[in-house]
């Protein structure tokens, strides 16, 4: 089990421990199978090139799942993801190391519940942000 | 692109059933393996990122056939309760709007906003998702 994060443990500006992912062509195929996304731009090198792409590209929603994992790894079992929004800013390619990062932008309480808003992004090996977004997570409080 | 937009005009605002998805434990586990997330939580509870994957592939082929280029612009997921093993999730979608503007190279670009709703076997709202697709 991941270590539990509590509301008292966070501070605005605090960084989320980065998550490093390296999607492979096999992973693209497997994600295609479980999601039913059979668009050949994710599996077929020649097809992808015929569409003007440099090669097969990582499914946007597979990269979205990396941001979701970044949050669940950080918040632990009792953290509840309420919102996760992201824009796909650039293409990701299999074999490249993707670093998922984030930081706390706001923490607040509402109706006796504890929330944290974060900004999140995925960086490719050239330091470009290929995904960027925001999330809201409900966290437990030690004294409740 | 104008033909693609014309073909979709009548579906703006119309809610359509996409499908009903049985969330078996094996499905959760294979999804978690596929995304490379070994968190032991993902046995009885589905990773939140499984939700936007439900039925998304079923709404794509029609759009791919209408536009020469279709890119994913954004995903906004709002979770109301966790999806658990044993749930049956009913997905419905509607094309909320189409916005057109000139792209960087002056070619027109259309932003298609699709709103999806996910309800469980008790008709409770589980999640909503807004997907923006960029068509040229």
Q: For an interface test with A, give the residue of B26, B53, B130 to mutate (most A CBs within 10 A).
A: B53
The answer to whether A139 touches A5, Cβ cutoff 8 Å, is yes
Percent of residues in chain B assigned helix, strand, coil, to nearest 5: 25, 45, 30
Q: What is the pLDDT of residues A65-120, one digit of tens each?
A: 999 999 999 999 999 999 999 999 999 999 999 999 999 999 999 999 999 999 99
Q: Which of A33, A37, A77 sits opposite B41 (nearest CB)?
A: A77
Supply the ipTM of this predicted assembly. Answer: 0.94
Does residue A17 belong to any structural domain of this protein? yes
Residue A62 resides in a domain: yes
Mean pLDDT taken over chain A: 95
- Does A61 map to a domain? yes
Helical residues (DSSP H) of B36-110, grouped into ranges: 50-53, 56-66
B2-23+53-135 has which CATH code? 3.10.129.10
Eight-state DSSP code of residue A26: H
Q: Which residues contact A110 (CB under 8 A, 6 or more apart)?
A: none
A115 inside domain: yes
DSSP B34-56: HHT---TTTTTB--TTHHHHTTH
Q: How does pLDDT run across B38-69, given as a tens digit for each residue?
A: 999 999 999 999 999 999 888 888 888 898 88
* Separation in Å, CA of B129 to nearest CA in chain A: 9
More confident residue, B73 or A1: B73
pLDDT > 70: percent of chain B: 100
Residue A43 lies in domain: 7-139
Q: How many domains does chain A have?
A: 1
Tokens 């960087």 locate to B104
Question: Tens of pLDDT along A33-45?
Answer: 998 888 888 999 9
Instruction: State which residue of chain B sits closest to A87, comparing Cα positions.
Output: B74
Residue of B nearest to A62 (CA): B35
The size of the A-B interface in CB pairs under 8 A is 97
Query: What are the structural domain ranges in chain B?
Result: 2-23+53-135
Predicted model pTM: 0.95
Å from B12 to nearest chain A CA?
A: 23
pLDDT of A1 higher than 80:
no
Query: Is A44 among the domain residues?
Result: yes
Assess if residue A57 is contained within a domain.
Answer: yes
């Amino acid at each position: 089990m991941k270590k539990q994060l509590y509301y008292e443990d966070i501070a605005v500006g605090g960084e989320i421990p980065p998550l490093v992912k390296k999607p492979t062509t096999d992973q693209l195929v497997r994600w295609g199978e479980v999601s039913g996304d059979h668009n050949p731009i994710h599996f077929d090198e020649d097809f992808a090139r015929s569409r003007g792409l440099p090669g097969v590209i990582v499914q946007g929603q597979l990269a979205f799942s990396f941001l979701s994992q970044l949050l669940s790894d950080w918040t632990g079992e009792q953290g509840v993801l309420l919102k996760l929004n992201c824009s796909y800013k650039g293409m990701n390619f299999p074999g490249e190391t993707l670093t998922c990062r984030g930081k706390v932008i706001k923490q607040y309480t509402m109706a006796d519940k504890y929330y944290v808003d974060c900004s999140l992004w995925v960086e490719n090996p050239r330091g470009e942000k290929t995904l960027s977004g925001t999330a809201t997570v409900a966290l437990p409080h030690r004294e409740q | 692109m104008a033909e693609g937009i014309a073909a979709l005009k009548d579906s703006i605002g119309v809610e359509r059933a996409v499908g009903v998805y049985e969330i078996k434990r094996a499905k959760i586990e294979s999804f978690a393996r596929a995304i490379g997330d070994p968190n032991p939580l993902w046995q009885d509870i589905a990773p939140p990122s499984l939700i936007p994957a439900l039925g998304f592939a079923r709404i794509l082929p029609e759009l791919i056939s209408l536009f020469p280029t279709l890119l994913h612009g954004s995903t906004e997921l709002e979770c109301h309760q966790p999806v658990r093993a044993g749930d049956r999730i009913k997905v419905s979608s509607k094309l909320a709007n189409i916005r057109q503007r000139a792209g960087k190279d002056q070619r027109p670009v259309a932003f298609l906003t699709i709103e999806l709703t996910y309800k469980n076997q008790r008709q409770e709202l589980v999640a909503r998702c807004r997907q923006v697709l960029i068509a040229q």
